[in-house]
Structure 1
Amino acid sequence: MSGWIMGASPWIAGTLALSSPTPYSAVSSKSPKSPFNFYTTKKQNSSNEYCRSARTRPVLVAYCKFPFPFPSNDLKFVLHDALESSGLATTHARAARNGFYLEIQKLTDVERETSISINRLVDLGKTALHVAAEDDSLISHSSVPLPVDDFVDRMDDLSMGYCSHYGSSFRYSPEKFLECLDRYLYIDKGFQRSKQSQVEQRSLYLHSVLTHRSGSASMLSLIYSEVLKMLRLWGMVNFDVEVFFPHDSHSSPRGYDKQKSREAYQSHIMTSQSLLVEILKDLKYAFWPFQHDPTRSLFLRAAQAANCYDTSNSLEESALKIASAKAAQHRLHRGVWTSVRFGDMRRALAACERLILLESDPKELRDYGVLLYHCGFYEMALQYLTLFQDIQKSSKRKRSSHPFSDPEEEALVKLVIRLKLIMMEEDWSRPSGDISFLSNNSEPW
């Protein structure tokens, strides 16, 4: 496919309009077909050891493939190139994304289903820190990257600190040992579950949780499991232990002896894959630009803001929700990336791109596509949305006979039709410096 023609629109209030950036490209023409291609100029360290000496900073060569039939269209990620075209440096953001991908490359089929308490191949702590490093670079534009290795050392210090304070606990029963570990993390070190009612963005990033000691359930589960993992690697723990991931809004993760566990505990066990998905979905929900209606899915909120999902006849639709949707659209129309309680397009796009790399759920293609639509990347949005439709058609799941029985399906069909009309419009993609990237006037009608 020819080079991508980006919409001419400011991504951040006051910046220059986008030009056509150089996209990620395949390593060679003989590379296997894949919808997501990346390139690099450095070689990666082949070591998979979970030890500090093996923690390097190589750059990725990546092919992301969903295990579903799909067209062979080459699809690219947009965020870093778009920011760079707006005059913003993305060196640190790209390096952090590369670090994230190199870690998840170790997620074999077996490793994806391995419990976080016994996983050894993937450094989940470092993976989460690469996520934090990328987002920090996106919002701070600092010339200095987030010191990932320093926070990795801080994670190791937590494990060493337990040994120095509770060394005698290794001779105790599993239950008594886990009581000591709970006391160490939640009392001595002061880690606590952040309150759901408050917007605490810092509770979603590992480096902030290590600093402020307040975190989400996924962050606390990660810290708990990493301490356990190091103790196991040092030969201090010799029983089968799991981490109980809480599904309520207030409990904290706890360890338990698997041999004495109950059947109900099984649904609370986090695997390496599910924990990373949970971390990224927390970020996606927190920074989704359309926060006006928490009762609907993220996709429907964005579709409603694009006037592709009409709820005007719903008795439950309030004037406040309608006004909030219009406010979100107006805010993005003016090129405002982020505001308090109304999301952040940069970090929402970044979370979607990482979830696609994780190959967790084909719906991530759809959600990423609707964000691209709002950003004016119509050609790429159409490719992601049609790819998702193709996956839906090829899946063996039962489909409803009525195409519009599902509100998400109805909104998706309407959005795809609109994008196809845009594609048919003459000169739709010609750059124009005086058009805002979410202006209604940016569409041909």
Structure 2
Amino acid sequence: MCSLTPSPLPTSSFFTLPFPSTFSKFQFCPLPYPSPSSSRVVCHVSSNCNLNFVLHDALDASGIDTTQAREARGQFCSQIGRFTDIEKESSICINRCVDLGRTALYIAAEDDSLVSHSSVPLPVDDFVARLDDLSMDYCPYYIREYDSSPEKFLESIERFLYVHKGFRRANANPLESRALYLHSVLTHRSGSSAMLSLIYSEILKMLRLWGLLYFDAEIFFPRDALTLPKGYHKQKSKESDQAHIMTSGNLLAEILNDLKHAFWPFQHDQNKTLFLRAANAANCIDRSDFAGESGSQIASAKAAQHRLDRGVWTSVRFGDMRRSLSACERLILLKNDANELRDYSILLYHCGLYEQSLQYLKKYQELKNLPTEVPSTDSLSNLEDDAVDNLTTRLNLILMEQGWSPPSYARNFLGNNSEPW
């Protein structure tokens, strides 16, 4: 899944920008030799993929200490490395080797270190204890008469969780960033459907361990913006409930996809995929295909690109390149999906990391062309394919060109500070 062995000493910087920066604080200088104790996470999407991730090394080169972020990433890899094919496809209500609560907290710990630059790591163990205490707090509300009916038993849990403890769905438009991290949800009691489902499943897991859960319970994962996760007796489920069963692997992917969407730097035009939004900002798409765009959408796209180019992050709702890159890297580690390589590649392009962007784009094209892949014929997929071809051509030209003119400013958003939550 991932390798945490120290990389060999580099002979040259893999992350040096091809132009000097006038902003010395954010300049991508040559990387120092790693110490023997340092580790680098390597992507192993397939047997032929052995690509170094960029984010942590690029931040280190900018003078930002990523020790805590690397430690959290290593712990995340350690957890998902325990997945078997069966466990990955098992319901979140079933006891498992992978601790989903702890894994979600390692995701939060990495992102917290990226934006806060604190030398003190997020206290993961303390929040794990708080999650366990939540299950303990339910015990005084448990009454033996609930054993007579699984429906009454689950109603009592939901009354405890959503009424007594006050957990609720966060406003989905736009979704608050603190609703996407488990430690914040445990503190503020407002979270995404994925976070509330995770908390609900942890309570069920503890009740099963204590012998209080005597039937096969399942959680109905809501697909809308308002409904709360609800429990039900699986033996009385309907066929339509199957689509709302959340598996362990899909829950982690849902958490990371929520982060990826929330912090994607190109927030305009919600009807297009994340890749097309970024490709549009990079002028990799034929404008004739965007005849339906309003003037405000075009202006929003230009404003977003201007903020990126100048490294201005005045609000987390305009995106955060660091956390979107981090989400992409962990999604690549979690699942074998070629589209994650493509989305990661275009973010690297916007960072000015052209060589690395091309490497990931080539790997995406290799996986996309495998016989096992089913080609899509919808209009958005055709637009994406054209944008990939245009981006590939541009990257090849950039890397072939000698002495091309650098921009007058540095793309310094990887090293820039922004509000943590």
Using structure 2 for the length normalisation, give the TM-score.
0.88
1:252 CA drift (Å): 0.5
After the TM superposition, which segments of 4 or more aligned residues of structure 1 sit over 4 Å from their partners?
Answer: 8-14, 39-42, 60-64, 400-405, 432-435
Distance 1:219 1:167 in 2: 27
**Partner of residue 299, structure 1:** 275
Distance 1:130 1:343 in 2: 21
Q: Percent identity?
A: 56
**Partner of residue 79, structure 1:** 55
Alpha carbons of 1:422 and 1:9: their partners in 2 closer, same or farther (altered >3 Å)? Answer: closer
Distance 2:285 2:365 in 1: 18
**Partner of residue 115, structure 1:** 91
Q: Counterparts in 2 of 1:31-110, with a 5 A limit?
A: 41=37, 64-67=43-46, 70=48, 74-110=50-86
Distance 2:151 2:287 in 1: 53
1:196 aligns with 2:172: yes
More displaced 10-residue stretch of structure 1: 82-91 or 249-258: 82-91
2:218 and 2:231 in contact (8 A); partners too: yes
Distance 1:11 1:119 in 2: 51
Partner of 1:410, secondary structure, is: helix
1:8 and 1:18 in contact (8 A); partners too: no
Partner of 2:218, secondary structure, is: strand
1:402 CA drift (Å): 12
Which structure has greater helix proportion? Answer: 2
1:399 CA drift (Å): 3.6
Distance 1:205 1:273 in 2: 17
**Partner of residue 54, structure 1:** none
1:438 CA drift (Å): 7.8
The AA in structure 2 aligned to 1:115 is S
CA offsets 1:193-246 (integer angstroms, 9 cap, x no match): 112124411111101110111100000000000111111122221211111100
Distance 2:300 2:308 in 1: 12
Question: Which of 395, 411, 414 lines up with 1:437 in the alignment?
Answer: 411
Distance 2:133 2:364 in 1: 44
Alpha carbons of 1:65 and 1:87: their partners in 2 closer, same or farther (altered >3 Å)? Answer: closer
1:282 aligns with 2:275: no
**Partner of residue 31, structure 1:** none
1:82 CA drift (Å): 1.1
Using structure 1 for the length normalisation, give the TM-score.
0.84
**Partner of residue 5, structure 2:** none
**Partner of residue 133, structure 1:** 109
Q: Counterparts in 2 of 1:17-416, with a 5 A limit?
A: 17-21=27-31, 41=37, 64-67=43-46, 70=48, 74-168=50-144, 171-312=147-288, 314-337=290-313, 339-399=315-375, 406-416=382-392
Alpha carbons of 1:111 and 1:11: their partners in 2 closer, same or farther (altered >3 Å)? Answer: farther
The AA in structure 2 aligned to 1:350 is S
Ranges in structure 2 where 5+ consecutive residues have no aligned partner = 1-9, 414-421
Distance 1:436 1:169 in 2: 67
1:335 CA drift (Å): 1.8
Alpha carbons of 1:345 and 1:405: their partners in 2 closer, same or farther (altered >3 Å)? Answer: closer
Partner of 1:15, secondary structure, is: helix
Partner of 1:255, secondary structure, is: strand
Distance 1:12 1:271 in 2: 48
Question: Which of 7, 25, 40 lines up with 2:17 in the alignment?
Answer: 7
2:169 and 2:192 in contact (8 A); partners too: yes
CA offsets 1:244-300 (integer angstroms, 9 cap, x no match): 100011001011111111111001000010000000000000000000110100000
Ranges in structure 1 where 5+ consecutive residues have no aligned partner = 25-38, 43-59, 440-445
Alpha carbons of 1:338 and 1:127: their partners in 2 closer, same or farther (altered >3 Å)? Answer: farther
1:85 CA drift (Å): 1.2
CA offsets 1:67-115 (integer angstroms, 9 cap, x no match): 5x74x5x411111111111111111111111111111111111111011
1:12 and 1:336 in contact (8 A); partners too: no
1:313 CA drift (Å): 5.5
Note the aligned Cα RMSD (angstroms): 2.9
Alpha carbons of 1:95 and 1:213: their partners in 2 closer, same or farther (altered >3 Å)? Answer: same
Partner of 1:100, secondary structure, is: helix
1:41 CA drift (Å): 4.2
1:13 and 1:337 in contact (8 A); partners too: no
Distance 2:195 2:21 in 1: 30
The AA in structure 1 aligned to 2:84 is T
Partner of 2:369, secondary structure, is: helix
1:173 CA drift (Å): 1.9
1:113 and 1:272 in contact (8 A); partners too: yes
Distance 1:150 1:162 in 2: 19
More displaced 10-residue stretch of structure 1: 345-354 or 193-202: 193-202
1:104 and 1:358 in contact (8 A); partners too: yes
CA offsets 1:19-70 (integer angstroms, 9 cap, x no match): 122598xxxxxxxxxxxxxx9849xxxxxxxxxxxxxxxxx88664335x74
Alpha carbons of 1:192 and 1:312: their partners in 2 closer, same or farther (altered >3 Å)? Answer: same
1:378 and 1:419 in contact (8 A); partners too: yes
Distance 1:378 1:314 in 2: 26
1:408 CA drift (Å): 0.3
The AA in structure 2 aligned to 1:186 is Y
Distance 2:19 2:75 in 1: 30
The AA in structure 1 aligned to 2:168 is Q
Aligned residues: 403
Distance 2:162 2:23 in 1: 42
1:107 and 1:122 in contact (8 A); partners too: yes
